[in-house]
């Protein structure tokens, strides 16, 4: 019988001990590196969370939005006349009292914020239902039907609504300075919880703090990254909220010299957005300039505006164009930005480094008869590249209209 050599002549306990000795330096090194990373996160200002550049959104469905013209539009929700409101029913027969903000999730569900009633509605397959808020101005977390919000009322809407990639809904309350989240729990019940705000301090580069201890001030516009992090600008800098912690991304004192001393916080009006590769866009106070910051490299620049309010000025470049607008909405990669509302009662599209009035250049020529006397405030873009707008100066009591774009030539 042939002798078979054992795989190891070493006793098993001794073999395990040898393996442990062999990998101990590697394990110790990894633990040490992990410890340094944790220490750096706790102590070092450079360790605040970065955007995730690998989460790139497919852009094909937005080609028409960036390059094309309007193919048609339809009445999506609400009446232009203020009538007694209902909590459920056809969305096109419902009424709203005041300004509206809205977002649309990838499953084609629209979420609408009603500032005067301090409630949030849900529109699915043409039917509107109350989602959150008992209609009493105040502050209360918990089950959505008992929650209370303070969205503020006025010509400068102090609230905004956004959704993340997972379908969580975020609403901001500008003057109370809070960010709230609306989501379904494991039992399928809608809940409301405070994400950030309500505190009395702000994080520094060396000291992230619990987000609910932050005093976020009058932040009525914010941006939600694909990974769920929230970014916003205040008078003291640009901040990030992720996993319950608040981080200072870039302090106002660290802005480039040409921006030092300028009030670049997102006050009342404007629009914020962050692209999948980490460019955070914001429009302080509705203009006259637009800024962006790469949250990974901390490169900051003004990309539009002439440093003074020149309403509706379409220059040959963005830096020679003037803005005085209330709303701005973006494609995921910011290849197209739509502005309008407030003192600019006409939609403009920013693309290819220049702005264009969509009604002046005939883009909306075929649709004006369907909508009445014009399209004004852009509200949001959905994942299919459809633009939601609202008619009426300052978006008072107007219809919500859904606009379709196409790259096909005009056959008429």
**CB contact at 8 A, 393 and 376:** yes
pLDDT of 307 reads 85
pLDDT band per the 50, 70, 90 thresholds, residue 81? low
pLDDT of 57 reads 43
Tell which wins on pLDDT, 6 or 57.
Answer: 57
pLDDT band per the 50, 70, 90 thresholds, residue 179? very high
Per-residue pLDDT of 15-60, as tens digits, reads 334 444 444 444 444 444 344 334 333 333 345 566 544 434 446 7
Rounded to whole angstroms, the Cα distance separating 168 from 161 reads 11
Pick the range with the lowest mean pLDDT from 66-80, 256-270, 353-367, 383-397.
Answer: 353-367
Residue 126 has pLDDT above 50, yes or no: yes
pLDDT of 359 reads 66
Domains and CATH numbers, the chain: 48-60+98-331 (2.120.10)
pLDDT band per the 50, 70, 90 thresholds, residue 235? confident
Tell which wins on pLDDT, 11 or 368.
Answer: 368
Residue 68 CB contacts under 8 Å (≥ 6 apart), including other chains = 405, 406, 407, 408
Token pair for 332: 């995921």
Range 258-266 average pLDDT: 75
Average pLDDT, the chain: 78
Range 270-281 average pLDDT: 91
Residue 123 has pLDDT above 70, yes or no: yes
Residue 192 CB contacts under 8 Å (≥ 6 apart), including other chains = 132, 140, 141, 142, 143, 144, 147, 180, 181, 182
Residue 253 has pLDDT above 70, yes or no: yes
pLDDT of 83 reads 52
**CB contact at 8 A, 189 and 143:** yes
**CB contact at 8 A, 231 and 220:** no
For the whole model, what pTM was predicted?
Answer: 0.82
Residue 395 has pLDDT above 50, yes or no: no
CA dist 139 → 64, 118, 131, 190, 246 (Å): 42, 10, 16, 17, 21
pLDDT of 184 reads 95
Q: Could you identify the residue written with the tokens 């660290």?
A: 254
pLDDT band per the 50, 70, 90 thresholds, residue 323? confident
């Amino acid at each position: 019988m042939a002798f078979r050599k054992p795989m190891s002549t070493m006793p098993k306990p001794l073999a395990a001990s040898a393996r442990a000795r062999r990998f101990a330096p590697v394990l110790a090194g990894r633990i040490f590196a992990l410890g340094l990373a944790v220490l750096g996160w706790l102590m070092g200002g450079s360790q605040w969370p970065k955007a995730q550049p690998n989460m790139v959104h497919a852009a094909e469905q937005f080609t028409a939005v960036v390059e094309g013209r309007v193919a048609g539009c339809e009445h999506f929700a609400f009446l232009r006349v203020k009538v007694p409101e209902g909590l459920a029913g056809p969305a096109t027969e419902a009424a709203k009292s005041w300004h509206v903000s809205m977002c649309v999730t990838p499953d084609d569900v629209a979420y609408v914020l009603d500032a005067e009633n301090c409630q949030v509605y849900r529109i699915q397959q043409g039917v509107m239902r109350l989602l959150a808020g008992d209609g009493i101005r105040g502050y209360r977390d918990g089950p959505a039907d008992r929650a209370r919000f303070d969205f503020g009322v006025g010509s400068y809407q102090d609230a905004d609504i956004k959704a993340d990639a997972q379908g969580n809904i975020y609403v901001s309350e500008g003057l109370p300075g809070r960010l709230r989240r609306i989501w379904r729990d494991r039992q399928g019940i809608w809940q409301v919880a405070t994400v950030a705000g309500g505190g009395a301090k702000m994080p520094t580069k060396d000291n992230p703090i619990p987000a609910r201890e932050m005093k976020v001030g009058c932040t009525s516009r914010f941006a939600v990254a694909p990974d769920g992090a929230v970014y916003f600008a205040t008078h003291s800098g640009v901040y990030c909220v992720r996993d319950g912690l608040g981080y200072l991304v870039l302090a106002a004192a660290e802005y480039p010299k040409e921006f030092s001393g300028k009030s670049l916080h997102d006050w009342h009006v404007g629009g914020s957005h962050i692209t999948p590769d980490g460019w955070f866009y914001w429009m302080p106070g509705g203009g006259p300039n637009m800024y962006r910051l790469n949250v990974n490299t901390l490169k900051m620049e003004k990309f539009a505006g002439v440093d003074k309010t020149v309403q509706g000025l379409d220059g040959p470049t963005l830096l020679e164009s003037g803005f005085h607008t209330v709303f701005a909405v973006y494609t995921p990669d910011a290849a197209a930005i739509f502005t309008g509302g407030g003192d600019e009662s006409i939609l403009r599209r920013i693309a290819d480094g220049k702005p264009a009035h969509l009604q002046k250049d005939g883009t909306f020529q075929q649709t004006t008869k369907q909508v009445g006397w014009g399209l004004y405030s852009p509200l949001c873009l959905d994942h299919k590249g459809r633009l939601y707008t609202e008619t009426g100066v300052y978006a008072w009591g107007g219809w919500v209209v859904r606009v379709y774009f196409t790259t096909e030539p005009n056959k008429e």
